[in-house]
């Protein structure tokens, strides 16, 4: 019996969007992920872009709304979207708020009970799911990573904590300094407890301060994004950390754009081409 089960297969730009469910050992629950296989994957192993989604999302939002398949098909780039938290569990308060618990795993490994039983999204997206993908799909082993908001934070920390693992990293409106914003404080306190020293391992700015980065960073941020103006995202802190550590960063402030998938769709092609360039060097 296979360890992944096909949920749906939809033809898209000559390739296939497939959704699978599988039992995650790391998360101790059943999960669904989505993978887009470009037409080139019918004949050759292809490189892979990880996309980590934001609060309240599932594996579906990016694939439905970002308009990324068109260029991924042209380039011959596979894309995978994990879900944003464990699913099917029912911990106390897990489903009560949009910014903690289900739909809000923050790509950390929880150490605090009861979350530590399931909420190990970092190990899931950097270890368990990659191994599963290698077993089942025509991938050439080259991987890049990107994401949005909470998933932009996820992409940054996955890249920063694994030098050499990804060819490139980018983010849309990432939560750049979770230790110092309301979303991050709530999540890190909930999943890790109140020892703020332990939070630093999951904060892009702190990781750059501690270890620098072997990769340049590419970030797009809309200046009409209400979460930016509310201080949840703090790209300036990321820029400052990069400058201090000598890490190259391209931070593009996009005038008039908000936090939505219309913002992502407007600039996703730039990111796909950026990653493809690095994936094929």
* CB nearer to its own copies: pick between 67 and 212: 67
Contact flag: residue 229 with its own copies (CB under 8 A): no
Binding its own copies (rule: CB under 8 A), the pick from 178, 222, 271, 276 is 222
Residue 135 bears catalytic tag: no
**φ and ψ at 232, to 5 degrees?**
-80, -20
CB 137 within 8 A of CB 116: no
CB of 63 to its own copies, least distance (A): 8
CB 33 within 8 A of CB 73: no
Strands 78-81 and 249-254, how do they pair? unpaired
Catalytic residue among 225, 239, 271, 275: 225
Supply 30's token pair. Answer: 């059943």
* CB nearer to its own copies: pick between 14 and 88: 14
CB of 109 to its own copies, least distance (A): 33
Residue 123 bears catalytic tag: no
What is d(CA 234, CA 114) in angstroms, rounded to the nearest whole number? 30
* CB nearer to its own copies: pick between 236 and 269: 269
CB of 243 to its own copies, least distance (A): 28
What is d(CA 207, CA 161) in angstroms, rounded to the nearest whole number? 8
User: Residues 64-93: x/- map of binding to its own copies (CB under 8 A)?
Assistant: xx-x-xx-----------------------
Contact flag: residue 39 with its own copies (CB under 8 A): no
Q: Within 13 A of 136's CA, how many CA atoms are on the CB side?
A: 21
* CB nearer to its own copies: pick between 10 and 229: 10
Burial category of 194 from C-beta neighbours within 10 Å (exposed 0-12, middle 13-18, buried 19 and up): exposed
Size of the site for its own copies (CB under 8 A): 23
Supply 217's token pair. Answer: 């960073």
Binding its own copies (rule: CB under 8 A), the pick from 74, 236, 258, 270 is 258
Contact flag: residue 277 with its own copies (CB under 8 A): no
Residue 116 bears catalytic tag: no
Contact flag: residue 7 with its own copies (CB under 8 A): no
Contact flag: residue 273 with its own copies (CB under 8 A): no
Count CB-CB contacts under 10 A for residue 54: 26
* CB nearer to its own copies: pick between 56 and 180: 56
Query: Which residues does 62 contact at the CB level (< 8 Å), separation at least 6?
Result: 51, 53, 68, 79, 81, 148, 261, 264
Q: Within 13 A of 208's CA, how many CA atoms are on the CB side?
A: 23
CB of 264 to its own copies, least distance (A): 10
What is d(CA 220, CA 250) in angstroms, rounded to the nearest whole number? 8
What is the contact surface with its own copies in residues (CB under 8 A)? Answer: 10-14, 17, 64-65, 67, 69-70, 222, 224, 256-258, 260-263, 265-266, 269
Enumerate the active-site residues: 149, 225, 259
């Amino acid at each position: 019996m296979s360890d992944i089960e096909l949920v749906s297969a939809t033809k898209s730009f000559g390739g296939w969007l497939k959704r699978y469910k599988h039992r995650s050992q790391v998360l101790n629950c059943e999960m669904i992920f989505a993978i887009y296989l470009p037409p080139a994957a019918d004949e050759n192993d292809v490189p892979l872009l990880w996309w980590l989604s934001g609060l309240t999302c599932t594996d579906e939002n990016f694939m439905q709304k970002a308009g990324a398949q068109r260029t991924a098909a042209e380039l011959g780039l596979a894309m995978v979207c994990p879900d944003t938290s464990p699913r099917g569990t029912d911990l106390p308060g897990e489903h009560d708020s949009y910014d903690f618990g289900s739909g809000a795993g923050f790509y950390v490994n929880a150490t605090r009970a009861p979350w530590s039983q399931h909420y190990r999204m970092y190990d899931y997206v950097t270890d368990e799911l990659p191994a599963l993908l290698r077993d089942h799909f025509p991938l050439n082993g080259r991987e890049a990573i990107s994401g949005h908001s909470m998933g932009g934070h996820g992409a940054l920390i996955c890249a920063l904590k694994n030098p050499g693992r990804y060819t490139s990293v980018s983010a849309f409106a990432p939560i750049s300094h979770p230790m110092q914003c309301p979303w991050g404080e709530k999540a890190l306190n909930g999943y890790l407890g109140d020892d703020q020293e332990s939070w630093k391992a999951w904060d892009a700015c702190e990781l750059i301060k501690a270890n620098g980065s072997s990769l340049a960073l590419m970030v797009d941020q809309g200046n009409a994004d209400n979460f930016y103006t509310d201080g949840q995202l703090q790209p300036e802190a990321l820029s400052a950390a990069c400058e201090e550590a000598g890490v190259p960063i391209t931070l593009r402030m996009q005038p008039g754009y908000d936090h939505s998938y219309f913002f992502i769709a407007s600039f996703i092609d730039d990111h796909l081409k950026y990653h493809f360039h690095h994936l094929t060097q």
